[in-house]
Amino acid sequence: MHTLLTEKHDQGERMTTTSRESLVARVALGIAVGSLMVAGVASPAHAATTSRTASCSIGGFTGYMRVTFDAPNFFSTTVRRVEYRINKGTNSGGNNADVSWLDYGVAPTLEATTTTAIQDNAWHTLRETDYGRGSGGIGTLMIFDKSGASDPRCSPQF
């Protein structure tokens, strides 16, 4: 440990050349280390994201599930968003379709479900909270809302 040396003169105390150089060196080192730490925090490496889409069709309905995740590996990654899209074709029906996403790569199994899925052929968010997953499978189920008849169902496969 360095000791700060001072000399007393008529004009007050002042540091000696040796102690001044030591202090300057320590301050410079502190600034350099601090800059590296701030640089590491200010610009973290973000993984690129990509998405996969799966679909299924039955009875004139087509359902899509899209998952956005950190590249390059879907089976061991961070999931960013899960979305669905339902095209009801010429079928009549409301917006009470059921959509389920089951991720078995998480313990316990992560489930995102809605019973009021909109059937307007536009993308809708089912889950938008990031989560990490391992190497388990994915389960999906779509039960379409069809007026005056039994509701057809299918499962998009990833």
Tell me which residue of 148, 114, 145 sits closest to 128, measured CA to CA.
114
Assigned domain for 108 exists: yes
Q: Write the CB contacts of 67 (distance below 8 Å, at least 6 apart in sequence).
A: 51, 52, 74, 79, 81, 82, 83, 138, 158
Cβ-based neighbour number of residue 101 at 10 Å: 22
Domain range for 31 is 6-42
Q: Are strands 12-15 and 61-70 parallel, antiparallel or unpaired?
A: unpaired
Assigned domain for 65 exists: yes
Q: Residues 27, 95: one domain?
A: no
pLDDT at 76: 78
Which pLDDT tens digit goes with each residue over 73-97? 777 789 999 999 999 999 987 889 9
Q: Residues 15, 63: one domain?
A: no
Residue with tokens 């610009």: 43
pLDDT at 86: 98
Assigned domain for 1 exists: no
Assigned domain for 138 exists: yes
Contact at 8 Å (CB) between 4 and 20?
A: no
Contact at 8 Å (CB) between 22 and 2?
A: yes
pTM of the shown model: 0.68
CATH code of 57's domain: 2.60.40
Q: Where are the alpha helices (DSSP H) in 14-144?
A: 17-42
Peptide bond into 156 cis (omega under 30): no
Which pLDDT tens digit goes with each residue over 33-73? 333 333 333 333 456 899 999 999 999 999 999 999 997 77
pLDDT band at 6 (very low <50, low <70, confident <90, very high): very low
